[in-house]
Chains A and B, each alone.
Chain A
Amino acid sequence: MNSRGIWLAYLLLVTMLHVILLSIPVLTVPLVWTLTNVIHNLVMYLFLHTVKGTPFETPDQGKACLLTHWEQMDNGIQFTSSRKFLTISPIVLYILASFYTKYDATHFLVNTGTLLSVLLPKLPLFHGVR
């Protein structure tokens, strides 16, 4: 997550997801923003906090097998720039989604629920907690 251009690729991917949802005629703008937020948080939760191990063999005698991607990042060092970026981005998306859904209660609850599901596992005190 530190290599060159990966943050830009991530932002482009989220933008592309939003444009794709926007271009589905039946969806309204508030619904599109909530869907963007929910899909983004689901995928982030899956890839960063659910899947354990690495998709290729590593020479670390299986140490990474039991760690999620988030726990393997930067060898477990907390508060690195990548971690900060990946913590802030769902929050920004949540703020945008809340604004565009005009703070409607239902959307607000759904967005807040999915935001917490990706924020809590990122807290340092949950490192390695199962």
Chain B
Amino acid sequence: YQYILVTALYMLKPLVRTIFNSILISVAGMAVNAGYV
């Protein structure tokens, strides 16, 4: 609840939330990977 409120996803459709979360997770994954490398 906090997460979707703070990122304002609360106001977007579930599909858009999925798009946003997948982008966020992939970017975070890449950043972690790059950090590790």
Contact = CB atoms under 8 A, between A and B. Distances in A.
A18 to B, nearest CB: 11
Give the interface SS of chain B, mostly helix, strand, loop or mixed.
helix
Query: Chain B: interface residue count, which band?
Result: under 10
Interface residues of A, number: 6
A20 B33 contact: no
Contact of A25 (B27, B30, B32): B30
B5 interface: no
Interface in B11-37: 27, 30-35, 37
Contacts of A24: 30, 34
Contacts of B32: 23
Interface of A: 19-20, 22-25
